[in-house]
Structure 1
């Protein structure tokens, strides 16, 4: 049985927007209008198709992206509802990767919010054709004109009205459509509107905005511009064709009106999706890692890309994928380009939230799911055996938050390890790091909401009770001046003894420094340290005071001590060591003797070389509403931040600062509290910088006190 829809009749839509903009409610409307469901659910009633997960219903907002589909006038519209909080950005990015059009919802009462701006960056990265939909026009504080103005300020003049409301607020029930030059009048219960002529009171505004729309479409297509000059107008089909091309090129973003809560405007939006929005085969072809194009054709070589995996209890791994080429049939075997393992697609599914419908085929451009691909993960490409196709992977953002994680009950480390493995498999924005340096298992994620979801999953699905702790800071130690030291290691215990004496100079290393003064250089080694920085190791021995065969042992002792600096036990970096003298014994000298002598000589010299503690400094970017900039800045000053710049973007301020990692614990929670969730931030490692003197003293005393306790 062939696929029900061919490539031309499949549209892939992702619903985007800040939390509370109405994405899940719009999805309900679209499924209801298409007859997929007989009754619209609501977020408040916890009975929507999209937010079906127990955790989403408990929290009252989307956490995971949800795949659904609607059959509409001969088309299959795949819908992916996405979370609105930036903590779950991985779900948004993976959905954008496989969508061919995005619908960005704007809350008419709130305008353009921070989450909208952040999501927009990703749509530009993927060059996703975009539609704007101003939702909640029936809200008592709805302000359509202000919302449109903000959209143009943020996203440019490419935002063009296709519709506008006649009224807004509680009386909202009429929309003027500027493409069809018709007024849609809705009953209070919503649903299918009555089509009416544009009233005289709106004719002048409608004509002006219609002309604006026509000119925006024509300006992106020379042939349409010529027709517009000749006729002074474009017909509806010409406008649709022009809009599709402009949307594909990211040159035009049509704007629609909605009340998803009352089901007003969703049917017209779906009509626009099937009439105008591009199918996958009308989008630029996918690029393979080798730089070749892969056209989206049903008769092409079979090729799918896995963008999401979910572990379902009692079922196993459910892999979501898009067919980028060919026709995929149940029972087909494909080769995983990334793992080189053959996988059998035993079952194919069309997905409706938590429901799965078996299908026999999925054609190029469609999105579906399959079960139990044992060696396939997110970002994997599967293809015909020997085809050697690998599609560009999704690049997920770095984490913003880190915590130490451990099981509450002893003996459950293995269970926790398994739960963390499953977590990372499902969520590519989570990183787990077992840090020998800090002696902690670290969990890196996107923010405190993300962390709360992770805790719930580990405890409810993984069945491991856990606790979080403050992660230790990965300090570094170095020196500020030169120091010499010598150490004799001597041990006699019957038979052969141990003897080695090392004379050593250590200096702070920097690029371009001159050769060691007053010493004869006979050899130099540069060691890039695994933890950052360098060790430069010089052989300055004259007269054979130490045999060259013992120099690697001295180096080994130095490197061992550099893994546990004397100030806080942190890694040591950026040191130049010159071994310039020493003594041997013809019988008792051996490798272990010179290793221990080198270690102790380095330790003594380091303490006399004005040791310095360095701390990791992160580049921080905060995006917050203008009216909250002062509060955000005040908080940053308490965190030893150095503000490097501020710039305005419409009614937001972007703050750039450098801040010590030690001061950023629980910053996500603090920022959310200060701004009522209206600000977002990103941070990434920048450099190591000296710790203030008083703080270095405090940290060193704490380390020495702990060392005494451990020895006792």
Structure 2
């Protein structure tokens, strides 16, 4: 295979809402360039991009799929991504390695929720972006409305390169950069180039002039040239458009019919001639502060943006060459693990098809197999200077479930499978709660969860059960209480004897020392589960030997690990041990531990015990017109609204909400807002549970 230099490699990622036509567009581009001899369809389950069994079952992309095409001496690496934000991890990682983002719009619907969500990430990474309005030949498509919706999303920096018209029933596209009209046959393919119709020339000239002005704005030399000549030629316009795209200030808009192969060749031509290449992007800083430049004669630096496990192949590692070049059998160091990896195989991947290569140069995207110590977000490098590319930042899980194997004999198999799934998709977060003794799985939504369940069963041979995780409550007290307990046991020989008197009180930061006690010692315990135990030795007269006080405290802590209300951890209590008795023969550590535990439990139950629940700080970004229904739902979830902020046509709601009420919120919010709202929550504090809720929870435990 021909080796392309970094100026002739274009890495584009296709993003867009579900059913916008990304997979069809990529298939058509491969066909147009002659890389495949027939076009597959999503319906027939034979596209290059959607080749996984689950994608065939669902009729939609689940994974980001790299492939490539060649057009007029340029290599175009394409990554086709899913359209649903349940798979946002696949989208983000692909955007990270793209030189240009192609945002595909379903012409029947315009900018949709999925487009808005993905745009936030494009904007965050400041990636050069162009828009493609698809299905221009569909009767329900209104291109002008589509363009308005794009401008509402990105502002006046959206600039029209093309617009569609019909001439005698034939689909045509007017290109205001080239000032030509392309007329297509019903079956699409190579168009006939004709003059712009007379009744469209005024509109085309107006748009052409707007494009000239927008191109001139982004380059001082071009601006001077524009003022001097009053216009720019096509090459000068290309230069200005590229500069604007690199500055994230120009967003060209194209139109195609991917299904009927109309306009795809012109789109590829623009990607070749105008869209930024890796060589055009600014150098990036590594995590160590080293400048990594896109140059072929530098040290080799590979950034791993995706890993995929296939049963017949093992682990496939996808990478972008950030600097230098990589050759077959190169030995590179993993900056994260310090291990040396040998790249025994190098591939260009087109869906499931692999094409072996001996070398890849800077800016290119490739893959290798069976690396032992390398995963997503890792950097492989040569040379003596440590280089770690900045990590892809993935969103926090939106839903969390407890997961167990249906067959208990598969527990270990389940754990290994979940680790492998996480290594492929870092938005799948696996953890274990020591408190609830549950394995927890966090993901992006119900559809994401369903695909994980499918993979566990069909790829890894484990049937899993997902359920609501236990809420990690805390117990405390609201008033002081005293209690005593006498432990006596005689069973021949030495017996057991201990008597403990104690007083307990609620503890809070900064409270004064207890009055009425002769304090002989104080121990402050920072509890592993949060909060404190303050333990006072107030024994006078030697009624309990000092050596037994630690055992009393152990008994107290033992009860605090499983509170009497719901078995939850106890926190924020102070204990004063002020009296008791011991026996010269029968008293020992175990006796005082038992006595301390029983005395504390009795005092706790008499101190008006209160259940505390974890409370989260919740931020919801919702379209203005949907704010009312979202607020009503939040109030039904016992949340306390704390403030509002305006952001364009959105309201940002901030509130405190019990963690228990967040279960199912992702699904409900999506339903309430047609998927247009987003939210983020983070643990804030423990707060008292309402009395009626506490009674119900305690009753559940009985």
- Indicate the TM-score class for this superposition, using the shorter chain for normalisation: over 0.9
Q: Please give the per-residue CA displacement for 1:249-308, whole angstroms capped at 9, x wherever unaligned.
A: 222222111221222222122111111222223212232111221112221111212111
- Quote the offset at 1:671 in angstroms: 4.3
In structure 2, what is the Cα distance between the partners aligned to 1:630 and 1:147? Answer: 28
1:661-680 → structure 2 map (5 Å cutoff): 661-674=659-672, 680=678
Q: Please give the per-residue CA displacement for 1:10-65, whole angstroms capped at 9, x wherever unaligned.
A: 11111111111111111112111221111222212211111111110110111000
Q: Please give the per-residue CA displacement for 1:357-411, whole angstroms capped at 9, x wherever unaligned.
A: 1000111111111111112111111112643211111121111112222222242
2:401–2:466 contact (8 Å) kept in structure 1 = yes
1:289-328 → structure 2 map (5 Å cutoff): 289-328=287-326
| SS in structure 2 at match of 1:262 | coil
What is aligned with 2:484? 486
Determine whether 1:268 maps to 2:275. Answer: no
Determine whether 1:150 maps to 2:149. Answer: yes
2:217–2:240 contact (8 Å) kept in structure 1 = no
TM-score w.r.t. the length of structure 2 is: 0.93
In structure 2, what is the Cα distance between the partners aligned to 1:552 and 1:208? Answer: 87
In structure 1, what is the Cα distance between the partners aligned to 2:465 and 2:16? Answer: 33
In structure 1, what is the Cα distance between the partners aligned to 2:166 and 2:586? Answer: 97
What is aligned with 1:574? 572
Determine whether 1:329 maps to 2:320. Answer: no
What is aligned with 1:437? 435
Q: Of 597, 600, 612, which residue of structure 1 is paired with 2:598?
A: 600
- Quote the offset at 1:234 in angstroms: 2.0
Q: Of 467, 470, 473, which residue of structure 1 is paired with 2:471?
A: 473
- Quote the offset at 1:432 in angstroms: 2.1
Q: Of 342, 345, 348, which residue of structure 1 is paired with 2:343?
A: 345
In structure 2, what is the Cα distance between the partners aligned to 1:565 and 1:437? Answer: 12
Deviation larger for 622-631 or 94-103: 622-631
In structure 1, what is the Cα distance between the partners aligned to 2:169 and 2:126? Answer: 37
Q: Of 198, 201, 204, which residue of structure 2 is paired with 1:200?
A: 198
- Quote the offset at 1:140 in angstroms: 2.2
In structure 1, what is the Cα distance between the partners aligned to 2:108 and 2:524? Answer: 62
Gap runs ≥5 in structure 2: none
What is aligned with 1:450? 448
Q: Of 214, 227, 230, which residue of structure 2 is paired with 1:229?
A: 227
1:82-101 → structure 2 map (5 Å cutoff): 82-101=81-100
1:653-664 → structure 2 map (5 Å cutoff): 655-664=653-662
Q: How many residue pairs are counted as aligned between the two chains?
A: 702
- Quote the offset at 1:495 in angstroms: 4.0
- Quote the offset at 1:541 in angstroms: 4.8
In structure 1, what is the Cα distance between the partners aligned to 2:672 and 2:605? Answer: 44
Deviation larger for 255-264 or 72-81: 255-264
What is aligned with 2:561? 563
Distance 1:436 1:193, change over 3 A: same
- Quote the offset at 1:135 in angstroms: 1.6
Distance 1:512 1:222, change over 3 A: farther
1:29–1:266 contact (8 Å) kept in structure 2 = yes
What is aligned with 1:515? 513
Deviation larger for 173-182 or 88-97: 173-182
In structure 2, what is the Cα distance between the partners aligned to 1:288 and 1:539? Answer: 55
What is aligned with 1:165? 164
In structure 2, what is the Cα distance between the partners aligned to 1:582 and 1:117? Answer: 69
Deviation larger for 221-230 or 484-493: 484-493
Deviation larger for 330-339 or 658-667: 658-667
Q: Please give the per-residue CA displacement for 1:519-545, whole angstroms capped at 9, x wherever unaligned.
A: 455555444433333334444555655
In structure 2, what is the Cα distance between the partners aligned to 1:302 and 1:100? Answer: 19
TM-score w.r.t. the length of structure 1 is: 0.92
What is aligned with 1:14? 13
Distance 1:30 1:643, change over 3 A: farther
Distance 1:406 1:206, change over 3 A: same
Deviation larger for 244-253 or 327-336: 244-253
Q: Please give the per-residue CA displacement for 1:139-181, whole angstroms capped at 9, x wherever unaligned.
A: 222222222222222222222222222359x967222222222
In structure 2, what is the Cα distance between the partners aligned to 1:288 and 1:520? Answer: 61
What is aligned with 1:707? none
In structure 2, what is the Cα distance between the partners aligned to 1:333 and 1:20? Answer: 42
Distance 1:507 1:171, change over 3 A: farther
Distance 1:263 1:564, change over 3 A: same
- Quote the offset at 1:576 in angstroms: 3.3
| SS in structure 2 at match of 1:94 | helix
In structure 2, what is the Cα distance between the partners aligned to 1:219 and 1:519? Answer: 80
- Quote the offset at 1:636 in angstroms: 4.1
| SS in structure 2 at match of 1:173 | strand
What is aligned with 1:392? 390
Distance 1:659 1:181, change over 3 A: same
Distance 1:153 1:329, change over 3 A: same
In structure 2, what is the Cα distance between the partners aligned to 1:545 and 1:135? Answer: 87
What is aligned with 2:552? 554
Q: Of 364, 373, 380, which residue of structure 2 is paired with 1:375?
A: 373
In structure 1, what is the Cα distance between the partners aligned to 2:550 and 2:113? Answer: 56
1:320–1:367 contact (8 Å) kept in structure 2 = yes
What is aligned with 1:64? 63
In structure 2, what is the Cα distance between the partners aligned to 1:402 and 1:97? Answer: 26
- Quote the offset at 1:686 in angstroms: 3.6
Distance 1:269 1:501, change over 3 A: farther
| SS in structure 2 at match of 1:210 | helix
Deviation larger for 478-487 or 188-197: 478-487
- Quote the offset at 1:478 in angstroms: 2.0
Deviation larger for 234-243 or 664-673: 664-673
In structure 1, what is the Cα distance between the partners aligned to 2:553 and 2:365? Answer: 58
Distance 1:548 1:454, change over 3 A: same
- Quote the offset at 1:199 in angstroms: 2.3
- Quote the offset at 1:421 in angstroms: 2.1
What is aligned with 1:591? 589
1:68-217 → structure 2 map (5 Å cutoff): 68-167=67-166, 173-217=171-215
| SS in structure 1 at match of 2:409 | coil
2:502–2:599 contact (8 Å) kept in structure 1 = yes
Distance 1:541 1:651, change over 3 A: same
Deviation larger for 116-125 or 405-414: 405-414
- Quote the offset at 1:80 in angstroms: 0.6
In structure 1, what is the Cα distance between the partners aligned to 2:602 and 2:127? Answer: 61
2:170–2:185 contact (8 Å) kept in structure 1 = no
